[in-house]
Structure 1
Amino acid sequence: MFWCSKDLMVRVDQLCASRNIKVFCGDVYGYHGYMFSDLGQEHHYVEEKPKVVKGSSEANDGPEAKKPKVDPNETTMVKKTIGFCSLKEALEVDWTNEKAKSNLKRIPVDYFLLQVLLKFRTDKGRDPQPDSFAEDSQLLLQIRDDVLETMGLSSELLPNTFVSYCFSEMAPVCAVVGGVLGQEIVKALSQRDAPHRNFFFFDGLKGSGVVDYFGSK
């Protein structure tokens, strides 16, 4: 899902979950972009791992013979299962919880930026536009204050400068986010390799992306 309101994405995610359908959504805002995935409460996949060969004391003497050895030329497929939470849970983390507050320093700022931009889209029925930069910038700052206050957090988490970098869609950022999204869809369909769980955020200013999990474990 792209260019959808928060309420619509949450509703579609809930409907898909009730029918065991995997969900992907994402967007690009200026230099920033994100991808979210909900692959269900139990997503099965396999990972290719180097094969471990057990040592044998019959062929050789000494402790080295008994140690497991990793053969880089041989691999084995390991079956794994991982669970995902709903989009609603991921966006409604209780930040008044002491454990959640203690993790704030490692939380990507883009998570809070996403909350602000989704609220802007809900209120205005559109995304911030370059031709109304002055007006939209002031509204974004006000929404930032309101959203973070509702979460019980300081507006300092998202510096005022964010308004200069979240207008329109940057083609290079679209390419990165779209590439990661496509990769994750292929992994989910093939059930091979560990999926990103559950958010991927890309910061074009830093030229880097981060995967982080929000919601119930």
Structure 2
Amino acid sequence: MGVEVDNKEPAVELTEAETELYDRQIRLWGLESQKRLRTAKILISGLNGLGAEVTKNIILSGVNSVTLHDIQVVTEEDFCSQFLAARESLGKNRAKASLERARALNPMVDISADTQPLEEKAAEFFGTFDVVLIIGQSNNELLRIDAICQELGVKFFAGDVWGMFGFYFASLQRHSYVEDVVKFKEVEAKPNQKAKFEKYAVPVQREVNYPAYSAWIDFDANAAGYQRQLKKDGPGVILLGVLQKFRTVHKRDPSYKSREADIGLLKAIRDELAPKSALSDNSLEVLFSQISPAVAVVGGVVAQEIIKVVTRMEAPHRNLFIFDPDTCAGYVQVIGG
């Protein structure tokens, strides 16, 4: 539903250096949007390849601050896609190892590292951010953090990449944004000529309710309605459920070190959750490590959506994004009311 546009600008002014640095972005999405970015505080938890890709894009956009959170150390597997951690950082904490290159991307953004486990974080910690992105966590932990963000009015994203498969879920509560509605008006034409029309855009403020992260967990992928959609988009939601259950049960992700055994475990979970699904054996064989092309696509989309949320320009995707390894294409699945 369209309502009157709120034209109140953020109470912040860009410096001359910031205006020069972000000139191209200001031309793209406007000064007001850039000011909103300038005040935004972002938490990115999970500095694997996906976390590094989102971090890069968010820092370059010109936010106020980015907190990089991780308790894991850099491994050889990270070098498949994690470009912020240098080779000599092997064995060091991933968040700390990513600081130097992250800060070099944009000295005007305040960037810090946090290594305390998420489960030890109180609600007040998450309340200091405008947007929280959590990568690499179990459903139970994602549900806990989303519930905190719901209570505090903080925008929440969950995302991950396994091999060539990736996803993100947006839990934005009641989100308002401005959308340009295209209209046409008649312009004066010369005598005996057909009427002419020119196109113009009218900014309209809209509001949309986004369901909580629990909505996709409660989603019945075997229901008839989804089965019809499945024929069009593929069994991405089922694959996500399989991978999250693997993580919950085995306290880890599928690994190359135990590839054949893990494929067998994945098949068993698939057959338990959705025995009649179209999820093929081949789809379960490309879920190891994080492959750079998939990370680039999913990370680019996640960063784009975070920027949309902060600037309140255009409608963020609603609400589950899937990157399908079989088609190498992404699509959006609407989950919940």
* Shared fold (TM-score, shorter chain, > 0.5): yes
What's the counterpart of residue 18 of structure 1?
Answer: 151
Contact 1:50 1:70 in 2 (8 A): no
What's the counterpart of residue 148 of structure 1?
Answer: 274
What's the counterpart of residue 33 of structure 1?
Answer: 166
Q: Which residue of the other structure, out of 179, 193, 207, is the alignment partner of 1:47?
A: 179
Q: TM-score, normalised by structure 1?
A: 0.84
CA-CA distance at 1:205 after TM superposition? 4.1
Amino acid aligned to 1:43: H
What's the counterpart of residue 202 of structure 1?
Answer: 323
Structure 1: where are the runs of 5+ without partners?
none
Structure 2: where are the runs of 5+ without partners?
1-133
Whole-Å Cα distance in 1 between the matches of residues 246 and 306 of structure 2? Answer: 28
Residues 170-209 of structure 1: matches in 2 within 5 Å? 170-209=291-330
* 2:282 pairs with 1:161: yes
What's the counterpart of residue 20 of structure 2?
Answer: none
**CA deviation vs aligned residue, 1:129-183 (integer Å, no higher than 9, x gap):** 001001111111111111225xxxx1x4211222211111101111111111000
Return closer, same or farther for 1:96/1:2 CA change in 2, 3 Å cut-off: closer
* 2:198 pairs with 1:71: yes
CA-CA distance at 1:116 after TM superposition? 0.2
What's the counterpart of residue 129 of structure 1?
Answer: 255
Amino acid aligned to 2:267: L
**Identity level (%):** 34
Amino acid aligned to 1:181: V
Whole-Å Cα distance in 2 between the matches of residues 102 and 207 of structure 1? Answer: 21
What's the counterpart of residue 113 of structure 1?
Answer: 239
Equivalent pairs counted in the alignment come to: 203
Contact 1:51 1:70 in 2 (8 A): no
Return closer, same or farther for 1:7/1:160 CA change in 2, 3 Å cut-off: same
CA-CA distance at 1:98 after TM superposition? 4.5
Whole-Å Cα distance in 2 between the matches of residues 123 and 172 of structure 1? Answer: 28
